[in-house]
């Protein structure tokens, strides 16, 4: 669906704390989801992905949770560091189309 | 490998001018995409291509044209630029048949139309 909003939601956390970033996706038929990190002036960078046949996937310091019932994704970052400060986007992909639809993003601000 | 490279990185156009943005990838990816990103918003798909010689419309195709004459290149054209096309443009590529489902992005082109 269309992204709406002139102001990104912002999450401020203290360095060392855990961060949880949430995302609601729009299409119940989406079967693949990705979290991207975008630093200022750069292109989005892949963090972690999950397929719809899973409800949890872990990477290095990051965990993605998928709740298909309510069409909700979350990204958990453990022991948040200043280098994690960025805008985080979730993207959904419909089967057989391989087109990614992005959410509007959440700005993560890590305070030292 | 350079990955996905976009040229130019910055451009200022006058209303009504035309230009072409070039995207090149060296990963032998089949799928390529053009997105635009406006302040405070996510990326919106303009056009995409699932292989050499193919193109298709995305969410916001109006005012843009694309061409994929070579597998490694995906060109985005603005025939008559408008201020509403002021944005940051990102190109991406992927190769789902090879298991590389995630899209790899270029660094972006910041376009201002005055």
**DSSP letters for B47-92:** EEESSTT--EE-SS-TTEEEE-SSTTEEEEEESS--GGG-EEEEEE
pLDDT given at position A26: 84
Residues in chain B: 114
Quick one: pLDDT band at residue A2, thresholds 50, 70, 90?
A: very low
Contact A48, A33 (CB under 8 A): no
Smallest CA–CA distance from B91 into chain A, residue: A43
Q: Is the peptide bond before A76 cis (omega within 30 degrees of 0)?
A: no
Interface residue B88 vs chain A (CB under 8 A): no
Interface residue B32 vs chain A (CB under 8 A): no
Taking phi over 0 as left and psi of -120 to 50 as alpha, with beta for the rest, B99 belongs to left
Quick one: pLDDT band at residue A1, thresholds 50, 70, 90?
A: very low
Average pLDDT over residues B24-39: 93
What is chain A's mean pLDDT, rounded?
89
pLDDT given at position B6: 97
Q: Which of A7, A8, A100 sits opposite B103 (nearest CB)?
A: A100
pLDDT given at position B99: 65
Contact assignment for A105 to B45 by CB distance below 8 Å: no
Interface residue A97 vs chain B (CB under 8 A): no
Q: How far is A30 from chain B (nearest CA, A)?
A: 14
> CA–CA separation, B80 vs B61, rounded Å?
14
Q: Percent of chain A having pLDDT more than 70? A: 91
Contact B42, A103 (CB under 8 A): yes
Per-residue pLDDT reduced to its tens digit, A80-111: 999 999 999 999 987 766 678 888 899 999 99
Q: How far is B16 from chain A (nearest CA, A)?
A: 27
Contact A37, A85 (CB under 8 A): no
pLDDT given at position B40: 75
Per-residue pLDDT reduced to its tens digit, B50-107: 999 999 999 899 999 999 999 999 999 999 999 999 999 999 998 876 666 788 999 9
The two tokens of residue B14 are 């006058």
Residue A81's CB is within 10 A of a number of other CB atoms, namely 13
Q: Which among A23, A31, A43, A73 is the top mutation candidate for probing chain B, defined by the most B β-carbons within 10 Å of its own β-carbon?
A: A43
């Amino acid at each position: 669906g269309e992204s709406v909003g002139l102001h990104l939601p912002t999450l401020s956390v203290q360095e060392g704390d855990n961060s949880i970033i949430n995302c609601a996706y729009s299409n119940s038929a989406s079967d693949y989801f990705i979290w991207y990190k975008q630093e200022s002036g750069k292109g989005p960078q892949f963090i972690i992905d999950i397929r719809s046949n899973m409800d949890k996937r872990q990477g290095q310091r990051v965990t993605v949770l998928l709740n298909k019932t309510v069409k909700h994704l979350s990204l958990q970052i453990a022991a948040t560091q200043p280098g994690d400060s960025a805008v985080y986007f979730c993207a959904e992909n419909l089967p057989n189309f391989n087109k990614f639809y992005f959410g509007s993003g959440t700005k993560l601000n890590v305070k030292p | 490998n350079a990955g996905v490279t976009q040229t130019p990185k910055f451009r200022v156009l006058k209303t009504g001018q035309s230009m072409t943005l070039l995207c090149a990838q060296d990963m032998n990816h089949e799928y390529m995409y053009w997105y635009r990103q406006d302040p405070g918003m996510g990326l919106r798909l303009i056009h995409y291509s699932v292989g050499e010689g193919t193109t298709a419309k995305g969410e916001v195709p109006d005012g843009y044209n694309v061409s994929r004459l070579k597998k490694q290149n995906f060109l985005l054209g603005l025939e008559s630029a408008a201020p509403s096309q002021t944005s940051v443009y990102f190109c991406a590529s992927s190769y789902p048949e090879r298991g590389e489902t995630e899209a790899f992005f270029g660094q972006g082109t910041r376009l201002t139309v005055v």
